[in-house]
């Protein structure tokens, strides 16, 4: 990671802070954005602002280029939650959640992508990485988190498009679904062993994967989804036809076609239900 310039959003606390500290310890130069919490340290520059604001997202990318001369990786990590069953979910809370996760991820990616395209077109070698943050909620659904699950599912689809469209400029794009004890998961991730090395929910366990994805060793890895934390690491396979038949072009009986397909298809991964965690 030595010398690589990495922007991390939402890096004031929780997972983002652990990423910033770990990457800086490996010699990366980090711009650590957050709404309200600044991180300091050798090789870390704090940037305060809301990444769902267009000007702020552009300024964040410019900060990396102005302070460190280039940009090698963007980690879209900023996030918020508004929990509650969907029948109680307000339209305002729905919008706020989509705004940070989807609009924020889009705006910073567009600003970084424009920089990488400019570099590539100027004939400069670009070996850049985009890492977006999804969640088990986005992959499997989460009871009581309709807005958040929808946003995090959207982040995965967005990542696939970014990987395809930015590949020509030398950019890889992957998504990570972390699990860690942070402010966001305080409601269910309660016990905190004093020794963080032995705590499977410590955010520090996720940071090395982020370093790998933003570093030189993973140049051939793109359009992938990883799930990490609480003692395991997985590559997650996305939507694909689980059972398929030819569709008759004349009239067909949906029940006669669909029932055997449902019988053949594997059962979906169960939704995450916090009452059963
Ligand atoms: N902790 C987990 O187990 C878990 C699980 C799945 C996904 N995630 C995702 O990981 C990411 C990090 O979450 P965390 O658990 O560290 O939570 P956290 O609350 O500790 O950190 C999130 C940070 O994002 C910042 N932020 C929020 N909105 C912002 C905005 N508009 N602009 C800039 N910064 C903003 C917050 O100020 C906060 O510091 C989030 O995207 C979250 O959805 C976390």
Query: Cα 141 to chain center, whole Å?
Result: 16
**Candidates 152, 190, 218, 244; catalytic one:** 152
Nearest CA to ligand 1 atom 40: 79
Nearest CA to ligand 1 atom 11: 77
Nearest CA to ligand 1 atom 4: 179
pTM: 0.97
* Residue-level pLDDT at 113: 98
Query: Cα 157 to chain center, whole Å?
Result: 11
The alpha carbon torsion through 57, 62, 68, 70 (nearest 10 deg) reads 100
For residues 57-86, average pLDDT:
97
Confidence of residue 186 (pLDDT cuts 50, 70, 90): confident
pLDDT tens figures, 199-251: 999 999 999 999 999 999 999 999 999 999 999 999 999 899 999 999 999 89
Instruction: Reply yes or no on whether 52 is catalytic.
Output: no
* Residue-level pLDDT at 190: 65
**Candidates 115, 135, 169, 232; catalytic one:** 135
pLDDT tens figures, 135-155: 999 999 999 999 999 999 999
277 pLDDT above the threshold of 90 = no
195 pLDDT above the threshold of 80 = no
**Candidates 19, 148, 157, 244; catalytic one:** 148
Cα 251 to Cα 263: distance, rounded to the nearest angstrom: 22
171 pLDDT above the threshold of 70 = yes
For residues 99-124, average pLDDT:
98
Pocket of ligand 1 (CB under 6 A): 9-10, 12-16, 33-37, 50-52, 77-80, 100, 104, 133, 135, 177-180, 182-185
């Amino acid at each position: 990671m030595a010398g690589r310039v990495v922007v991390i959003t939402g890096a004031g606390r929780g997972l983002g802070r652990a990423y910033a500290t770990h990457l800086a310890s490996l010699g990366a130069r980090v711009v650590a954005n957050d709404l309200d919490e600044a991180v300091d340290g050798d090789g870390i520059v704090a940037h305060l602002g809301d990444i769902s604001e267009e000007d702020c997202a552009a300024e964040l990318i410019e900060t990396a280029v102005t302070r460190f001369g280039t940009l090698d990786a963007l980690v879209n990590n900023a996030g918020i939650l508004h929990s509650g069953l969907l029948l109680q979910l307000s339209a305002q809370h729905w919008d706020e959640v989509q705004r940070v996760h989807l609009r924020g991820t889009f705006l910073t990616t567009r600003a970084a992508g424009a920089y990488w395209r400019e570099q590539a077109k100027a004939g400069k070698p670009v070996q850049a990485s985009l890492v977006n943050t999804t969640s088990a909620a986005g992959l499997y659904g989460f009871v009581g988190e309709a807005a958040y699950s929808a946003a995090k599912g959207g982040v995965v689809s967005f990542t696939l498009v970014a990987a395809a469209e930015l590949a020509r400029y030398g950019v890889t794009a992957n998504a990570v679904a972390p699990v860690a004890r942070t402010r966001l998961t305080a409601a269910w991730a309660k016990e905190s062993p004093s020794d963080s090395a032995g705590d499977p929910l410590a955010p520090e366990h996720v940071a090395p994967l982020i370093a790998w994805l933003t570093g030189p060793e993973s140049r051939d890895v793109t359009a992938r989804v990883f799930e990490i934390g609480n003692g395991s690491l997985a590559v997650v396979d996305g939507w694909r036809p689980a059972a398929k038949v030819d569709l008759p072009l004349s009239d067909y009986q949906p029940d006669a076609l669909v029932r055997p397909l449902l019988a053949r298809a594997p059962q979906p991964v169960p939704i995450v239900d916090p009452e059963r965690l």
